[in-house]
């Protein structure tokens, strides 16, 4: 059974009905599963519970509406919160700020940072240590010399016209969690690299001959989440690709020089794409940059 397709169908259903009352029973019935089985499958595939995902989506979209100027009380009502105080409590738990304080920070950011000018509060990274993990998928040979550390996902997929490699990859590898990893593996000193877009797997036992595999070593990372961009009316996701490039540029042009870290070139940086990057009002993805403290 192709659970990946069912997860996509479920997420699309949630998006279409996000302002309505969504329960585990309603969603499970729509998907044709028992409540227990679907909740278990959803958590395994997405790394979070079904209703936690719904809650986060409501709050994420509510934050988008606040940035557009909608009143807090109207946003709370629109997304099914019984009271403004209940909405404020849930919002503070998610964003560590009250809705009004969040809005003040974001308005200041939006007023001073237009045209993909990255920086400020929204670009503060988180720091994590990740153990080594395995990635398998499809890739191309390319050269990034002189590219200012940017990566263009669209250029990779355009090499495979007529074949949906993403679905093929999930069907064959059946990874434990939904989410794609994009990374470049240097193959020479002149900028030649293998660009791989794959999924995290437990082992390489299901890998086919036309696939590429990489073991990403353990590392300390600064994790940057790109500023949200609306891609609902942008089928080519051009704005998303641009904001990713600008985020990479910000990291190396601005963030490193003002931080106590330097890039750990003995490790691999990578991009991580999950359900947050599928044609939404608040499309984002994460950039993992390996770091070491400056001695």
Could you tell me whether strands 286-293 and 270-273 are parallel, antiparallel, or unpaired per DSSP bridges? antiparallel
pTM of this structure: 0.60
123: nearest Cα among 219, 256, 294, 237 = 256
pLDDT in tens, 164-202: 777 888 889 999 988 999 988 877 555 567 889 899 999
CB 263 within 8 A of CB 290: yes
- What sign for the dihedral angle of Cα 210, 41, 269, 239? positive
Which residue ranges make up each domain of the chain? 3-112, 126-293
Encoded tokens for 262: 């330097």
CA distances for 79 relative to 10, 60, 232, 282, angstroms: 19, 10, 19, 16
Q: Residue 223's pLDDT band (boundaries 50, 70, 90)? A: very high
What pLDDT does 45 receive?
74
pLDDT in tens, 34-75: 887 788 778 777 778 888 889 989 998 888 888 777 888 899
How far is it, in rounded angstroms, from Cα 208 to Cα 69? 50
Helix, coil or strand: residue 89: helix
What pLDDT does 1 receive?
47
**pLDDT mean across residues, the chain:** 80
Length of the chain: 295
What pLDDT does 100 receive?
77
Helix, coil or strand: residue 175: coil
CA distances for 201 relative to 38, 74, 198, angstroms: 22, 43, 9
Least confident segment among 86-100, 168-182, 208-222: 86-100
pLDDT value at 17 more than 60: yes
pLDDT in tens, 235-291: 777 788 888 888 887 887 678 878 898 888 889 999 999 888 877 778 889 999 999
Thinking of the domain 3-112, which architecture would CATH place it in? Answer: Orthogonal Bundle (1.10)
Q: Residue 115's pLDDT band (boundaries 50, 70, 90)? A: very low
Q: Residue 219's pLDDT band (boundaries 50, 70, 90)? A: very high
pLDDT value at 24 more than 60: yes
CB 31 within 8 A of CB 9: yes
In degrees and rounded to multiples of 5, residue 179 shows phi and psi of 150, 135
In degrees and rounded to multiples of 5, residue 120 shows phi and psi of 85, -160
pLDDT value at 150 more than 70: no
The residue written with tokens 């996701």 in the block is 237
Is the domain defined by 126-293 classed in CATH 3.20.20.100?
A: no
Q: Residue 105's pLDDT band (boundaries 50, 70, 90)? A: low
Q: Residue 109's pLDDT band (boundaries 50, 70, 90)? A: very low
What pLDDT does 158 receive?
47
What pLDDT does 37 receive?
78
Helix ranges restricted to H, the chain: 3-16, 24-31, 35-46, 50-67, 72-78, 84-95, 99-112, 153-157, 165-173, 238-250
Compute CA 243 distance to the chain's CA centroid, rounded to the nearest angstrom. Answer: 13
């Amino acid at each position: 059974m192709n659970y990946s397709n069912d997860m996509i169908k479920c997420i699309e259903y949630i998006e279409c009905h996000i302002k309505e009352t969504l329960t585990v029973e309603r969603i499970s019935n729509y998907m044709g599963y028992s409540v227990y089985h679907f909740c278990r499958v959803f958590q395994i595939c997405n790394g979070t519970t079904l209703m936690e995902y719904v809650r986060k989506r409501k709050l994420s979209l509510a934050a988008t509406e606040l940035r557009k100027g909608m009143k807090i009380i109207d946003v709370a009502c629109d997304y099914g919160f019984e009271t403004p105080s209940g909405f404020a409590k849930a919002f503070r738990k998610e964003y560590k700020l009250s809705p009004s304080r969040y809005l003040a920070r974001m308005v200041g950011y939006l007023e001073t940072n237009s045209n993909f000018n990255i920086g400020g509060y929204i670009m503060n990274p988180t720091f994590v240590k990740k153990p080594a993990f395995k990635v398998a998928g499809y890739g191309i040979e390319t050269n990034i010399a002189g590219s200012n550390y940017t990566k263009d996902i669209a250029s990779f997929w355009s090499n495979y016209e007529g074949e949906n490699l993403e679905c093929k990859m999930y069907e064959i590898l059946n990874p434990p969690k939904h989410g794609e990893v994009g990374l470049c593996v240097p193959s020479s000193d002149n900028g030649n690299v293998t660009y791989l877009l794959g999924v995290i797997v437990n082992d390489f036992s299901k890998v086919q001959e036309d696939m590429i595999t990489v073991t990403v070593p353990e590392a300390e990372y600064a994790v940057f989440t790109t500023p949200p961009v609306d891609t609902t009316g942008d089928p080519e996701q051009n704005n998303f690709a641009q904001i990713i490039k600008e985020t990479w540029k910000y990291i190396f042009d601005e963030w490193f020089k003002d931080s106590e870290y330097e890039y750990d070139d003995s490790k691999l940086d990578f991009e991580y794409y999950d359900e947050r990057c599928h044609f939404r009002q608040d499309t984002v993805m994460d950039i993992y940059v390996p770091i070491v403290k400056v001695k």
